[in-house]
Amino acid sequence: MTSVKPKLDASERAARDLLNRKVREGIIDRRSANEVLKVGLPFVRHMLATWRREGTDPQWITGKFQAIHAEALQRQAAAAGAVAQRMALTRVMCAELYLAVWAGLQEDYAAFVNERRSRPSLPA
C-alpha cells in the first residue's frame, strides 16, 4: 500500500511555509509551530472565511491586516526590554500568519471558481 499524502490547500501551505521559515530563523520552536498549525490555523481560517461569506470586502480584510502588521513592526522597533521585544515579535508573526492564510484562502477560492466555470453543465 502506498503512502500518498493528501494535497494541502493553499492557505495551509502558506501557513506551513511561514512557520517553517520562522523555525529556521529561530523565532519559534518546532513544537510551538505545530501547535499554531493545530489550534491557530483552523481559527484563523474560520474567521477569515466567515468574513468572506458575510460579504466583507477582500480589500478591507487585506488592508486591515497590513495595517496591523505595520503597527506590529513599529511596536517591535520601539520595544525596549526583552519581554516587550518578544511580545512585539509575536504580534508581527501573528499578523504575517493572518496575511499568509488570507492570501492562501483567496488562491483556494479563485481555484474553486475557475474549476466550477470549467465544468460542463448538465443537460436539462
Q: What is the pTM of this model?
A: 0.83
Q: Give the per-residue pLDDT at 118.
A: 79
* CA pair distance 31, 9, nearest whole angstrom: 22
61 within domain boundaries: yes
Q: How far apart are CA 79 and CA 86, in angstroms?
A: 9
pLDDT tens track for 6-25: 577 899 999 999 999 999 99
5 is a domain residue: no
**Considering Cα of 73, then 79, then 82, then 86, what sign does the dihedral take?**
negative
pLDDT of 58 over the 90 cut:
yes
All 3 cell numbers of residue 112?
474553486
The domain containing residue 17 runs over which residues? 10-116
With respect to residue 3, please indicate whether it lies within any of the assigned structural domains: no
Average pLDDT estimate for 55-70: 95
| Residue 1, in any domain of the structure | no
Number of domains in the chain: 1
Q: Is the dihedral of CA 30, 36, 42, 45 positive or negative?
A: negative
